[in-house]
Structures are given as C-alpha cells and as structure tokens.
Amino acid sequence: KTRGGQRIEIKMIENDDDQLITFLKRQLGIYKKIGELSSLCGNEIFFIIFSPAGKPFTFGHPSIESIANRFLNGNIPVIDDAHALIEAHRMVRINRVIQLYNEVHNQMDASNETRKVLTQQITSETNSNNWWETALDQLNPRELYERYSYFSELLNLFHISQSKKITIASSMLAPTGLAEDVSTNFPPS
C-alpha cells in the first residue's frame, strides 16, 4: 500500500539514506515557495539550509552577496537607474507570468466544472435508464410528458419492427407452385 496523499507523522527520520532523500525532496519544495514569496511580494530574501551531511544550500534574491552584506554590515543597498530599470523589467515579466498562470488556472477550474456537470449528467442518464420503472404519481407534468414521448417512440419503433418482420415473413411464404402438388397428395394413403 502506498502512502500517496497521506500525512506523515513529523518525527526524526532514523535512517541516514532516508534523511538525505527526504531532505532533497523537501529542499526543492522550499526553494519553490521562497521563490514564489519573493516574486509575489517583491521581498529581498536570503535563505540558508544545511543538509544532514552539513553541506550548506543557499537561496537569495536579488543576490546572496547583497543581502548578506546588508545584514552583516547594516549597509543599505545603493539603487542606481540601471538596477531600477532591470527590476522594473523583471516585475513586468513576473506580472505577465502571474497573469498567464491565473488565466490557465481559471480555464482549468472551468474545465473541471464542465467535467463535473457532464459526469452528473451521465450519472443521471445512467440512473434514468429505467425510466419506465418510476411510479407515475411521483412525476411532475413535464416528466409525465417525457414518459409519454418515450412510450410513443417505443410503440412506434415496435410497429416499424413488426411491419418489417411481417413483410419478410410473408415474402418467404409466398406460393411457388409446389404447394398445389403437395396439397393433392397429402396426407398419403
């Protein structure tokens, strides 16, 4: 049985290999969330994490060096025109990506709603395949008319089918000239 979709109890992982694998999996998720936070809020971020083996992994925006210098030395970064222009261009691109993401997300939501509606329709049609079993006193006038239409169509199809069968049967029983000879010699004496 797999653990997909289940919550794992938060506790120290004993096996060193499992620790490393879990760290590497979670590290990518953490970087993704930090990147989203930086992009959406425009924050300057410096993040450092150490692997179980003691190796440091870092993430920084706009750069690790600028934020580390600012933190360690109390330096306020100098913003020049080139940096402001680059930052403005970056924000335009980020906003475009966010807008595209929102459009795709809305389309996905709409298609999920359509799928749900179609699934409900298919389910209700499947459940209504036995429409003739429903008690008539439980139906409203519209449903009664629908049942009448179904029965009328069924009766019409029955008549058409019977007519075809009768036509085929009568053409197979048409006299061929042998019937006269058989009737005179029947029953044999």
Measured CA angle at 52 (ends 47, 53), to 5 deg: 105
Superfamily name with CATH number, domain 13-78: Transcription factor, MADS-box (3.40.1810.10)
How many angstroms separate the CA atoms of 48 and 123, rounded?
Answer: 52
- pLDDT 10s digits, 126-154: 555 566 677 778 888 998 888 888 889 98
Rg (CA), the chain: 39
Residue-wise DSSP of 85-107: HHHHHHHHHHHHHHHHHHHHHHH
Q: Dump pLDDT digits (tens) for 44-101.
A: 888 889 888 888 988 888 788 878 887 887 766 555 566 777 877 888 888 888 888 8
179 HSE (CA, 13 A, CB side): 4
- Give pLDDT tens digits for 39-51: 788 788 888 898 8
Quote the CA–CA distance of 94 and 100 in Å, as a whole number: 10
